């Protein structure tokens, strides 16, 4: 069968998955939470800007102003990425397993479609939803910060935005892989734990970097091998904000340590590809 | 016309760990037949169907579907399947979901709307093409499942309990539908508990029990053999001459009343001979009631009635 057939089938599944994802309650809830967060964040920025430019701290040096602005953006991107990551987990932990439970999958798989195409379509559809969501969130946070505080951005900011958009995909790949084998709930627990490991690992690595503790740094490196999420986030921040502004503040989780190399990003991309390939293989070999 | 097998299996076997799904199944299903696949719950019917449509991989043995080895996903372009669960993406309308299936089938995009309309029309859901499946009753969902299986004019249909959620009228509709599908040359593999339904429309049946094929053949072959004839008489016949007559046609009297006889016969062919012989003895026959072996008799015999 021609590759046109493969692409058509993958896109058909992806389209259906995308539509299903955006109409699910979990995404609606995420959007409501996001709207609430952005409102609060925008208000915070307004207060911050007011304070730095005209209020009590109006005497701040230009450098200090820029540092506060950078800090505010840094702080805003953390909850934004948290919301995107949790949405990635909860929107996709049951993407295969729940269809197996309900029996919906039988109608699809009795068609001339390879199971690997189904898995790929599911991944692409969910990734599309997350990419849109992450782009909206990242764009809103950066936009608000620029608007309110004229936050200085590095010329590499487009690459940073691309990384922020890519950030939920390792977690998505893990959730899709898990859903080919695990019950939905167990998969949710596993993926949430993986997110926790990545986050805590990144934190330990940062502190280790600050205090010069090699063991702590290594723990962080291992955690980012298990779930390359925090490393992508830190790389994005390093491409977005002038590092000096934040390092001067000192002791900021996730920014104190060394900046991840480009290999961390390569690793994350390979990680996603391998997990998706594994998911295809697991489903293809399973009796359903 | 040369009949060709569209399903062919050789020693098809599936084990789940140590338990037997089905074992050593050798089956041929001829093109254009309605094939009834029967068996008690847990006998291995679903295992077999799942291997046919590629959901389960056989442990050993081999099989062909429309001339292609089992597991070749491309052949499923010519196969329709109604799963026992008949659950679908409930947030879609039939039209939307059939478009998805049309895409998976690789149908011409421009041909999908018309094919959708036709498939929904065949199952009586034309007026519900734009209603969300969530609002469908179970019976309507099962009809939709049939429409979905019929999309793309398959050469081979696998139907797993297609009338379980239907009322008697719905069952009659499906019966008509399947006979119409057979007219077009489509082969139907029907998995059903409803022996009466199967007996009315199937050309051939197989019975599976404990994972093994215990009977297989055309209905005529399987239901042939001994039958009983109940004969009504205007006036009593001497018991001895009744015995004599029955023996003359190869049967024997099972029960006798003054004006009625129940005669066991070697096969149905013997019924006219029995009547002739009775008349020759001077009996005045008022009625003859042939009691044929039913699929239910057969089913209970070959499965030892071990299950309900």
Which is more confident, A57 or B284?
A: B284
Counting Cβ atoms within 10 Å, is residue A211 exposed (0-12), middle (13-18) or buried (19+)?
A: exposed
Which is more confident, B242 or B190?
A: B190
pTM higher than 0.90 for the full model?
no
CATH of domain B225-292: 3.30.70.1150
B236 phi, psi to nearest 5 deg: -60, 150
Instruction: Report d(CA B15, CA B22) in Å as an integer.
Output: 7
Q: Å from A107 to nearest chain B CA?
A: 7
Q: Where are the alpha helices (DSSP H) in B84-204?
A: 94-105, 112-122, 138-150, 168-183, 195-201
Give helix A157-166 / helix A262-284 axis angle, nearest 10°. 30
pLDDT band at residue B143 under the 50/70/90 scheme: very high
Strand B204-209 and strand B34-38: the pairing is parallel
Look over chain B and give the mean of its residue pLDDT values, rounded to a whole number: 88
Counting Cβ atoms within 10 Å, is residue B124 exposed (0-12), middle (13-18) or buried (19+)?
A: middle
Check residue B157 and give its pLDDT: 95
Q: Is B51 on the interface with A (CB under 8 A)?
A: no
Instruction: Write the CB contacts of B105 (distance below 8 Å, at least 6 apart in sequence).
Output: A111, A112, B77, B151, B152
Residue A30 scores a pLDDT above 50: yes
Provide the token pair at A112. Answer: 């001339």
Which is more confident, A169 or A147?
A: A169
Q: Collect all residues of chain B within an 8 Å Cβ-Cβ radius of residue A111.
A: 76, 101, 104-105
Q: Is A108 on the interface with B (CB under 8 A)?
A: yes
Q: Collect all residues of chain B within an 8 Å Cβ-Cβ radius of residue A12.
A: 100, 103-104
Contacts A–B by Cβ distance under 8 A: 78
Where along chain A do its domains lie?
3-284
Which is more confident, B247 or A96?
A: A96
Q: Is A287 on the interface with B (CB under 8 A)?
A: yes
Question: Scanning every residue of chain B, which has its alpha carbon at the shortest distance from the alpha carbon of A121?
Answer: B104
Check residue A1 and give its pLDDT: 47
A16 phi, psi to nearest 5 deg: -65, -40
CATH of domain B5-219: 3.40.50.300
Residue A46 scores a pLDDT above 70: yes
Ranges in chain B annotated CATH 3.40.50.300: 5-219
Backbone angle region of A86, left / alpha / beta, with phi > 0 → left and psi within -120 to 50 → alpha: alpha
ipTM at complex level: 0.85
Instruction: Report d(CA A175, CA A181) in Å as an integer.
Output: 10
Q: Which of A67-76, B57-66, B138-147 has the lowest mean pLDDT?
A: A67-76
The helix/strand/coil state of A54 is: coil
Q: Å from B145 to nearest chain A CA?
A: 8
Q: Is B103 on the interface with A (CB under 8 A)?
A: yes
Query: Which of A23, A28, A107 would best serve as a mutation to test chain B binding (most B beta carbons within 10 A)?
Result: A107
Query: Which of B73, B93, B138, B165 would best serve as a mutation to test chain A binding (most A beta carbons within 10 A)?
Result: B73
Each residue of A208-222: pLDDT tens digit?
Answer: 877 888 888 888 888
Query: What's the rounded mean pLDDT across residues A3-32?
Result: 89
Q: Å from A99 to nearest chain B CA?
A: 9
DSSP letter assigned to residue B160: E
């Amino acid at each position: 069968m021609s590759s046109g057939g493969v692409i058509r089938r993958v896109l058909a599944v992806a389209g259906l998955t995308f539509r299903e994802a955006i109409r699910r309650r979990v995404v609606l809830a995420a959007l409501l939470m996001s709207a609430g967060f952005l409102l609060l964040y925008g208000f915070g920025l307004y207060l911050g800007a007011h304070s730095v430019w005209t209020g009590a701290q109006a005497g701040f040096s230009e450098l200090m102003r820029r540092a506060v602005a950078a800090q505010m953006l840094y702080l805003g991107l953390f909850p934004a990425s948290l919301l995107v990551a949790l949405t990635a987990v909860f929107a996709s932990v049951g993407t295969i397993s729940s269809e197996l439970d309900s029996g919906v999958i039988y109608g699809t798989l009795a068609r001339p479609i390879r199971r690997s195409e189904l898995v790929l379509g599911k991944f692409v559809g969910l990734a599309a939803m997350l990419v849109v969501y992450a782009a909206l969130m990242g764009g809103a946070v950066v936009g608000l910060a620029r608007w309110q505080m004229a936050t200085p951005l590095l010329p590499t900011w487009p690459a940073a935005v691309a990384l922020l958009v890519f950030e939920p995909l390792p977690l998505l790949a893990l959730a899709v892989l898990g859903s080919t084998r695990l019950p939905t709930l167990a998969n949710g627990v596993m993926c949430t734990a993986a997110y926790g490991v990545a986050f805590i690992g990144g934190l330990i690595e940062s502190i280790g970097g600050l205090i010069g503790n090699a063991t702590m740094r290594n723990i962080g490196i291992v955690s980012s091998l298990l779930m390359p999420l925090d490393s992508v986030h830190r790389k994005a921040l390093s491409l977005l904000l002038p590092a000096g502004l934040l390092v001067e503040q000192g002791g900021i989780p996730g920014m104190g340590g060394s900046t991840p190399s480009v290999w961390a990003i390569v690793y994350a991309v390979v990680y996603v590809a391998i997990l998706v390939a594994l998911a295809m293989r697991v489903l293809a070999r399973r009796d359903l | 016309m040369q009949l060709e097998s569209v399903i062919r299996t050789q020693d098809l076997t599936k084990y789940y760990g140590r338990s037997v799904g089905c074992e050593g199944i050798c089956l041929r299903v001829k093109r254009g037949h309605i094939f009834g696949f029967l068996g008690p719950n847990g006998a291995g019917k679903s295992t077999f169907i799942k291997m046919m449509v590629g959901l389960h991989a056989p442990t050993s043995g081999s099989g062909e579907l429309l001339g292609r080895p089992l597991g070749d996903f491309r052949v499923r372009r010519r196969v329709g399947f109604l799963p026992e669960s008949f659950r679908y993406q409930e947030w879609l309308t039939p039209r939307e979901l059939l478009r998805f299936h049309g895409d998976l089938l690789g149908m011409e995009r421009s041909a999908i709307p018309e094919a959708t309309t036709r498939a929904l029309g065949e199952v009586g859901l034309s007026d519900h093409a734009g209603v969300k499946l969530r609002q469908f009753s179970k019976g309507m969902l099962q009809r939709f499942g049939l429409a979905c299986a019929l999309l793309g004019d398959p050469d081979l249909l696998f139907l797993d309990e297609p009338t379980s959620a239907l009322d008697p009228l719905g069952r009659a509709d499906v019966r008509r539908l399947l006979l119409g599908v057979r007219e077009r040359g489509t082969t139907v593999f029907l998995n059903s508990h409803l022996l009466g339904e199967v007996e009315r429309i199937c050309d051939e049946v197989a019975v599976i029990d404990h994972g093994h094929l215990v009977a297989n053949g055309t209905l005529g072959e399987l239901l042939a053999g001994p039958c009983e004839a109940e004969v009504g008489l205007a006036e009593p016949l001497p018991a001895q001459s009744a015995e004599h007559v029955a023996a003359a046609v190869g049967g024997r009297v099972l029960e006798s009343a003054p004006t009625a006889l129940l005669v066991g016969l070697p096969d149905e062919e013997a019924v006219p001979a029995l009547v002739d012989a009775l008349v020759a003895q001077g009996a005045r026959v008022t009625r003859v009631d042939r009691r044929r072996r039913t699929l239910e008799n057969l089913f209970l015999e070959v499965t030892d009635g071990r299950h309900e």
